[in-house]
Amino acid sequence: MKFFEDLKVGDILPIGRHTFNAEEIKAFAQRFDPQLFHMDEAAAEKSHFGALCASGWHTAAAWMRLMVDQRRGQMEAAVARGEKVPSMGPALGLRDLKWLKPVYVGDTIDYKSEIIELRVSNSRPGMGLMTILSSGANQKGETVISFVSTTFVERREKL
C-alpha cells in the first residue's frame, strides 16, 4: 500500500487473472445481459461472435473483484508489518471503457492498471488524485478491455 507521494506515473499495479468458464458466463448473462450469444453455445456459434462469450459488463466486474482482493491483500500485509495504511477513496466513475475483443469460454484475462496521471486534489488537500489506465489481455496478448479511472489516495505529508 503506497501513499500518494510514493506513486510514480508509469507504475504498473498488477490486478490478477481470471479464467472465464461457460457456467459463470451464462449465469452472469442470465441475470444482467440475457443476449443469446452470452447464454447459449449453439446460438452464439451462429452469431457474429462465433462462439459463447462473456458480457462486457462481466469482463469489467471481474476486474473489480480482482482489484478489491488485491487491495485488501496489500492492506492486510501492510498492517501485519506494522505500517501505516493510506486511505483510498472510491472511484467516482470512469472514462473511455472499451470492449476491444470478445472474451470466449476458457480465456484467461490478465488485468493490470498503469498510473497515467498524478495530481494533488484541490478540493481535498490531504489527498492526491491517481488516474489509472486499466486493461485486461487474453492468453494471446490481445487487449480485450480497457478503461481510465481516477481515485483519491491519501498523502503522507499533510500540507
Give me the residues that bind a second copy (CB under 8 A), please.
31-35, 55-57, 60-62, 64-65, 68-69, 90-100
Rounded CA Rg of the chain: 18
Shorter beta-carbon distance to a second copy: residue 3 or 57: 57
d(CA 99, CA 111): 14
Min dist CB 53 to a second copy, Å, is: 10
Min dist CB 8 to a second copy, Å, is: 26
**Which residue, among 123, 119, 112, has the nearest Cα to 147 in the 3D structure?**
112
Shorter beta-carbon distance to a second copy: residue 34 or 106: 34
Min dist CB 135 to a second copy, Å, is: 12
Strand partners, 104: 53
Shorter beta-carbon distance to a second copy: residue 24 or 110: 24
Per-residue HEC secondary structure of 101-142 comes to: CCCECCCEEEEEEEEEEEEECCCCCCEEEEEEEEEEECCCCC
d(CA 99, CA 105): 16
Min dist CB 113 to a second copy, Å, is: 16
Shorter beta-carbon distance to a second copy: residue 3 or 99: 99
Shorter beta-carbon distance to a second copy: residue 6 or 98: 98
Min dist CB 72 to a second copy, Å, is: 8
Residue 36 Cα distances to 5, 18, 95, 157, angstroms: 48, 23, 28, 53
